Amino acid sequence: MTELTGKRALVTGSKSGIGFAIAKRLVQAGAEIVLHARSDSAEVEEAKMKLAKLTTQGVSIALGDFSDPNSCRSIFEKIKKDNKPIDILVNNAAIQPVCALADMSSSDISQMLEINLQIPIMMTRYFAEYSEKGGSILNICSIEGLTPALNHSHYASSKAGLINFTKASALELGSKNIRVNSICPGLIDRQNLDKDWPQGVKSWLEKAPLKRLGAGNDIANAALFLVSDAASFITGANLVVDGGMECVPSW
């Protein structure tokens, strides 16, 4: 029931990291993939080549700088010209700067809310507008949308807003046969994470019930389930994928 042959999926922010892991898993399930990136680069082309080796369904690239909200409409207008509608939208693109509240400027806040919240809202709007037979939307949130971390107040707020938008849009779009769900990843491993943030990694490994960091594939597997027919009666749900960290007492 997680077979996606005949489906076309757009994954934002998918040249690397969680976005690429999700795109890869959807390709392996049979979907045709549209990779999104801010601009063309060798990394984008490399990601496309890696996925193209796994499928005969085709891999394409949609470029759009999300610092400009108009890019959302442009992406869907270009896709419409292909005469191949999008069945699955994964809103993954985001930013995560660290900043103390006392040092935060209005532009810091505006940029965070624009990229992490306004863009997924607009992408959802245009997906619904261009949709012909319904589909599935998945928002990649964060456990910080449930429990904030120090110096991440604007990031945590943007992800909390995205969790609630998931529910609100699921309520509104159900009549169009569009399901909307979200995933809250925990700490996901990446290159040099243990060197860049050794204390954070150490603390996580000491506290997490499963005693490991998350991997991109952990989020990708959950994503495949939620966008597939295996979750056909699930909408407005938020799935926490954090190795059990949400179970850890805070006192």
**Which are the contacts of 227, defined by CB distance < 8 A and separation ≥ 6?**
4, 9, 26, 88, 90, 136, 138
In the residue annotation, 130 being an active-site residue is answered as no
Q: C-alpha 70: how far from its chain's center?
A: 19
Distance, in Å, from the CA atom of 89 to the CA atom of 12, rounded to the nearest integer, reads 8
Which of 20, 66, 126, 155 is flagged as catalytic? Answer: 155
Q: Name the nearest CA neighbour of 49 among 92, 15, 88, 11.
A: 15
- Cα separation of 45 and 3, whole Å? 26
- Cα–Cα nearest to 7, from 136, 93, 124: 136
Please list the alpha-helical segments (H only) found in the chain.
17-28, 42-52, 70-81, 106-113, 119-130, 153-173, 193-196, 198-207, 216-227
Please tell me the distance from the alpha carbon of residue 37 to that of residue 34, in angstroms, as a whole number.
10
DSSP string, 81-139: HTT---SEEEE---------GGG--HHHHHHHHIIIIIHHHHHHHHHHHH-SS-EEEEE
Q: How far apart are CA 248 and CA 99, in angstroms?
A: 25
Which positions are catalytic? 155
